[in-house]
Structures are given as C-alpha cells and as structure tokens.
C-alpha cells in the first residue's frame, strides 16, 4: 500500500478509517480531493466493491476532477464508483423510479431561465402583475422553501402574511405549468428525490444496499434537503464520510446550513473527526493573513493553517482615488506580471459585486490585456439554448415553452398573435399562408425527432443547425453572429462524447448535463487570459496571483440595501467570503480599494474595509501607482 506514503499523517488517518461515520475538517488547500480519492482507493484495495461506493460533490467540474483522480489511481480496476453531483444523483434516482415518483421517465429539466419564464407566466395566472412581483424574487422564495424540504401544499397551509400568500398562489400555478410540461426545476431534483426516499421504503433500501459507503464533499454547503438525502442513503450502514470547512461556508443566502457540519457528531454518535491543517497551496504570509482574519468569527471549528512552503512576498495594499484609478492599477500590475513571465490565466481579479466588473473590463480593454469574465454559463447563451429547445420541442409535443421559443428562430413570419392561437389550439382562424408555415415548422420538428432517434447525437445536432436555417442566418449576420455560430459548433463538438451511448440514454444525459451546468462549468476551453470574477465564483479555484478589489466599508463587507446594519450571522459570512478570497492565492496577493466610487448612479466617499485592519501591518506593503491623469495615491 505504497499510495499511503503519499499522504501526511492526518490525511492518512482519514484514508485508513474504514467503517462508521467520519468528519474531515479540511482547511483551504489542505488536499481534500486527494484524501477522498485515496480513501476510495483504500476501500477498494481492502475488499470493498467499487459499485458499493458513492461520492457526491457540488459542481460538474469538481465531480469530473474527482472521477479523473480516482480513475488514475484505479488504473487496474474496470469498474469505477458512482461519482456525481447532488443534482445528477437526483436525476438518476428519479428517472430510475419515475413511476413511483409520479413522473414521466423523460421529464425535462428547467434551468433558471426556464423557471423565471414559467414563474412570470404563473404570476399572471395567479392574478398578479410581474412588474410588481419580480419573478426572480418569487423564484428565490420558492427555491429556498424547496431547499428546506417544504412542498407547495405545506407552504400554503402556513402562509399568513401578504407576500407569502402571493408566493403560495404563484407557486401553485408554477407547479401546474411544470406538470403540464412534464418538467422539474433544479430544486425539484433534490426535493422529489428526498420525498421519494422517505416515502418509498423499497426504493430507499435498494439504494442503501447498493451504496454502502457514502462520501460527501463540501458538506458545509449542503442545505436541508441535501442533508436529508445523505442521511437517508447512509442510515442503514452508517458509513458516511463528509469533508468540509465551516470557514468556507459562503452560501447561507441560498440555503446552505452550517448546522449540518457543526452538528455532524450529534447526528452520527461516535463519529471520528480528522482535521487537515497543512496547506499545500499558499505561502505562509498569505496563510498568516487568512488565519488572523477568520479567527474573529465565533461560529467555527478551531484550526490554524500552516505550510512547508516559503514565507513568500508581502501583501500589496493599494488605495485608488476612484474605481477607474483602482482598475488602472490592477490592469497595469497585471501587465507587469505578464511581461515578467506570468501566465495571464494564473492571474485572478476578484470582486464582491458584479457591477464592479465594468470599470475593470474597461481598464483591461484600454491596456489591451487579454481577460475573461467568469460566470456567464455556456449553456445559458441564447444560441445554445435555441438548439437545445429544438431538441426538446422535437421530442415532446407537450413542451409548449420550447415550441414557442424557436418557432420564429430564425424568423419565419409567425407573429405573437398567431403563436397565442396555436398555444390555445385555435388554429382555424389563422390564414392559409400562415398555416402552411406552421405545418412546415412541425414537419421540421418531426424530421429532427427522427434524426435524434436514428443518428448519433452530434449528427442530429448538425441537422438541427442546418435544417432549421440557423446556420445560414448566422453566417449572413455580423461579427457577433459569427461568435454565436462558433458556440453552436462547440456544442456539437461537446455532444460527440455521447455518441457511444444508447440513443435514448444519450439524449437524456445530454439534456440533463446541459441543464445542470454551474458557473464554473464553462464548456469552452479556457483562454490564456486574466480571470475576472466574483469571490463566490472563485470558490474551489486557485491562482498564482490574486487581486481582491473594492475593499471598502459597505461593499466588502457588503451592506445589505435598506438595512440599518448587517446581522452577526451576515457579518461572519462576509468574513468567511474574504477568507475564501485570500486563500485562492498561491504566491502573491494584492488588496485594493477606491476612495470614491459610483454606486447605483450616485458618487460616494468610502472608508477602507475593516478586513484590511484585521491583517497585521508587518504582512502588508504599500503600493504607489501613478495613473494616466498623473494622480499619485499613497497608502
């Protein structure tokens, strides 16, 4: 078992623990993915069947990295354990047990855009104006309830105040739309899985028998329904190993509960606890700063990160006159680093709020430095969704949303009034010429369906592109249309990975994967460019050099709009978010803030963030930068 020699003592302790509950507190950069992969290897080497092992993480990217690690370690094993995201696991369980769950086996998965569109429609059906009740806000309220394991009927019973009653009525209409379109949204994939496992003893016991060893990554990010799924799968054998870090819990605003990891030993008596504190990523200077920042939080498990890496450079601190000056500093420093041999893709610029990217993008464009804004999902691009809508509309006559989306893509001269008549099944009043166009469109969908059922997926998607007229329309368009056409071709290239799978399964897997992509799951190959992203989007990533911008009181830590002050819980989450930002850096950190900034159209003067003062002065170094207008700013 020479593979155990690759681990430090604490990692090895976690890997060698076989039976019974295990809690691994893994600090940033402490090698948690290695530990999970080696633990799976060790279980198999000591006699556990690979098919008895389940590993769950949060993003497709993380799941793929885990599969690759395990596959490399198990080169002599023909069968791999099931490694999946929570949502993909839900898709598998629900498709396998669709009848018992009261679902169509070929249910559609609504992405966020689909859900917002349906919520807008449901708001109107419920008798409210979407302009007065924003669909994203209502969807967020429904999502939070589903994440807590609450159904629409349960919510309706206790909705007493005005807004909850509005949500309840919209939710009821939304559920009817989902049923009509044979669809589930993201939250349903988890909620309906948990309800199925609770109610159907035979289903639950079958999966408990199948997966005797359960691993969950990023356990601090689980919500109530994910917690329930894990508990239901693991309760028979109690071989549950969870990995997480309270200090990196930054998603409470979308339902992640710290109680799950903080209360693990209460939920699972006699659990073994292993704390990983040795960091393999950052310099000691960066870790010293991070340790001092996070130790101010009260609700956490005590740990102090250390490394055998060198001490490293001091952390640069820069005060800009305004956001434009700050952005110029970041761009010029990036230029210097690249000129000195740094790879652009190893530089990240992090910010607390999306609006901050505008000034930064302007500065990078002005300096002619390659950059890439992370967070725009490939599968959310209009042209990609159009192709997927063609596929879904061709496969299901009841899918009116996708039918409506692409009946005029590209333009076919079918107006909105005509579309409403089609959806209302009142086509007799439509002119003969328009009925001919509609018939041609339906014939196109029929040909696409035949291709999907008889040809490999990539061939069928090429057929969609050409026969729909999209390829010609985009070729005849402008430069942006050329980029859109390239994105569709990239989608077709991506689809070749499903060509060796049975056609029906390939289609289901393709549509599920497309719907379940996350912010970090960019399909296109990453450019060699400086990364610009929010701190939330940076979680799980690492870079040689990191700029943390906008460190101003009210921005980072973020002040909630219309709130007199943030709560202690919110304050601690902001501090954890800054801790996550600090620990993304391997070698060098730059911190910056602007003395004045335009926010929502008004100019405001800023004080430096309290987080800056949490870092010992001996770790910081002032930066001076002369902007293009000749202004010198000192800190």
Whole-angstrom Cα distance, residue 398 to residue 526?
37
Q: Beta strands 347-351 and 82-85: pairing type?
A: unpaired
Active site residue 33: yes
CA angle 449, 455, 458 (to 5 degrees): 95
Comparing CA positions, the residue from 60, 63, 12 lying closest to residue 39 is 12
547, β-bridge pairs: 349, 590
**531 is written with which tokens?**
């990364």
| Residue 461: alpha-carbon gap to chain centroid | 26
Q: Which of these is catalytic: 217, 221, 245, 399?
A: 217
Q: Is 27 annotated as a binding residue?
A: yes
Q: Is 424 annotated as a binding residue?
A: no
> Which H or E run includes 395?
helix 382-395
Q: Is 78 annotated as a binding residue?
A: no
Do residues 100 and 203 make contact, with C-beta atoms less than 8 angstroms apart?
A: yes
SS3 618: helix
The CA–CA distances, whole Å, from 302 to 30, 277, 296, 487, 540 equal 15, 10, 11, 47, 21
Q: Beta strands 602-605 and 585-599: pairing type?
A: antiparallel
Q: Is 55 annotated as a binding residue?
A: no
Comparing CA positions, the residue from 279, 280, 336 lying closest to residue 303 is 279
Q: Which of these is catalytic: 377, 584, 586, 597?
A: 584
Active site residue 217: yes
DSSP codes of every residue in 172-234: HHHHHHHHHTTEEEHHHHHHHHHHHHHH-HHHHHHHHHH--EEEESSGGG--HHHHHHHHHHH
Whole-angstrom Cα distance, residue 563 to residue 567?
9
Q: Which of these is catalytic: 10, 11, 32, 226?
A: 32
> Which H or E run includes 53?
strand 53-57
Distance, first Cα to last Cα, the chain: 54
Active site residue 32: yes
Q: Is 28 annotated as a binding residue?
A: yes
Do residues 255 and 144 make contact, with C-beta atoms less than 8 angstroms apart?
A: yes
Whole-angstrom Cα distance, residue 48 to residue 57?
21
Omega before residue 410 within 30° of 0, cis: yes
Tell me the three-class secondary structure of 169-184, residue by residue.
Answer: HHHHHHHHHHHHCCEE
Q: Which of these is catalytic: 33, 145, 193, 545?
A: 33
Active site residue 248: yes
Whole-angstrom Cα distance, residue 377 to residue 592?
28
**266 is written with which tokens?**
């209460």
Q: Is 234 annotated as a binding residue?
A: no
> Which H or E run includes 266?
helix 264-267
Provide the Cα torsion 245, 251, 253, 259; round to 10°.
-30
Q: Is 271 annotated as a binding residue?
A: no
Active site residue 218: yes
Q: Which of these is catalytic: 111, 114, 218, 508?
A: 218
Q: Which of these is catalytic: 59, 85, 220, 248?
A: 248
Whole-angstrom Cα distance, residue 159 to residue 168?
7
Q: Is 367 annotated as a binding residue?
A: no
Do residues 167 and 141 make contact, with C-beta atoms less than 8 angstroms apart?
A: yes
Catalytic residues: 32-33, 217-218, 248, 584
Binding residues: 26-33
Binding residues for ATP: 26-33
């Amino acid at each position: 078992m020479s593979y155990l020699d690759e681990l430090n003592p604490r990692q090895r302790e976690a890997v060698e623990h076989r039976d019974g509950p295990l809690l691994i507190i893994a600090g940033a950069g402490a090698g948690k993915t290695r530990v999970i992969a080696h633990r799976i290897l060790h279980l198999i080497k000591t006699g556990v069947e690979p098919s008895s092992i389940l590993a769950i993480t949060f993003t497709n990217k993380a799941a793929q990295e885990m599969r690759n690690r395990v596959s490399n370690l198990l080169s002599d094993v023909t069968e791999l354990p099931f490694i999946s995201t929570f949502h993909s696991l839900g898709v598998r369980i629900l498709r396998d047990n669709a009848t018992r769950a009261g679902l169509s086996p070929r249910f559609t998965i609504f992405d966020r855009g689909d859900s917002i569109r349906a919520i807008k429609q449901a708001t109107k059906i419920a008798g409210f104006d979407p302009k007065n009740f924003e669909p994203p806000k209502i969807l967020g309220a429904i999502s939070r309830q589903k994440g807590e394991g609450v159904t629409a009927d349960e919510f309706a019973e206790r909705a007493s105040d005005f807004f909850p009653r509005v949500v309840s009525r919209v939710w009821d209409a939304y559920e009817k739309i989902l049923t009509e379109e044979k669809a589930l949204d993201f939250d349903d994939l988890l909620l309906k899985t948990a309800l199925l496992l609770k109610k159907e003893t035979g289903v639950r016991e079958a999966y408990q028998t199948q997966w005797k060893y359960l691993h969950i990554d990023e356990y601090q990010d689980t919500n109530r329904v994910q917690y329930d799924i894990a508990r239901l799968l693991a309760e028979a054998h109690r071989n549950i190993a969870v990995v997480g870090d309270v200090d990196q819990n930054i998603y409470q605003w979308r339902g992640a509960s710290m109680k799950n990891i903080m209360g693990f030993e209460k939920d699972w008596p006699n659990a073994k606890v292993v704390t990983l504190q040795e960091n393999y990523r950052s310099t000691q200077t960066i870790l010293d700063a991070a340790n001092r920042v996070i130790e101010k939080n009260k609700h956490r498990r005590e740990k102090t990160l250390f490394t055998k890496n060198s001490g490293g450079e001091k952390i640069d601190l820069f005060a800009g006159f305004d956001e434009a000056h700050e952005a110029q500093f970041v761009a010029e420093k990036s230029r210097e680093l690249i000129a000195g041999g740094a790879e652009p893709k190893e530089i990240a610029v992090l910010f607390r709020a999306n609006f901050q990217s505008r000034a930064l993008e302007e500065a990078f464009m002005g300096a002619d430095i390659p950059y890439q804004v992370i967070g725009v999902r490939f599968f959310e691009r209009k042209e990609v969704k159009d192709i997927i809508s063609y596929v879904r509309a061709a496969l299901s006559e009841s899918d009116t949303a996708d039918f409506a989306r692409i009946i005029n893509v590209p333009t076919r001269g079918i107006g909105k009034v005509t579309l409403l008549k089609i959806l209302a099944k009142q086509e007799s009043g439509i002119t003969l010429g328009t009925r001919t166009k509609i018939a041609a469109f339906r014939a196109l969908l029929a040909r696409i369906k035949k291709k999907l059922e008889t040809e490999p997926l990539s061939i069928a998607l090429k057929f969609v592109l050409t026969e729909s007229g999209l390829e010609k329309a985009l070729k005849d368009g402008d430069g942006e249309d050329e980029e859109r056409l390239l994105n569709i071709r990239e989608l077709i290239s991506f689809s070749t990975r499903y060509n060796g799978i049975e056609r029906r399964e390939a289609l289901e897997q393709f549509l599920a994967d497309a719907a379940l992509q996350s912010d970090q799951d960019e399909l296109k190959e990453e450019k060699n460019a400086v990364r610009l992203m929010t701190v939330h989007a940076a979680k799980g990533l690492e870079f040689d050099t990191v700029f943390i911008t906008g460190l101003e009181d009210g921005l980072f830590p973020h002040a909630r709009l219309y709130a007199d002050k943030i709560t202690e819980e919110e304050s601690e989450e902001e501090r954890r978010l800054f801790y996550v930002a600090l620990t993304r850096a391997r070698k060098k950190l730059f911190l910056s803030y602007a003395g004045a900034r335009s926010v929502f159209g008004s100019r405001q003067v800023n004080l430096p963030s309290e987080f800056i003062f949490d870092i010992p002065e001996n770790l910081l170094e002032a930066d001076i930068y002369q902007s293009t207008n000749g202004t010198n700013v000192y800190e």
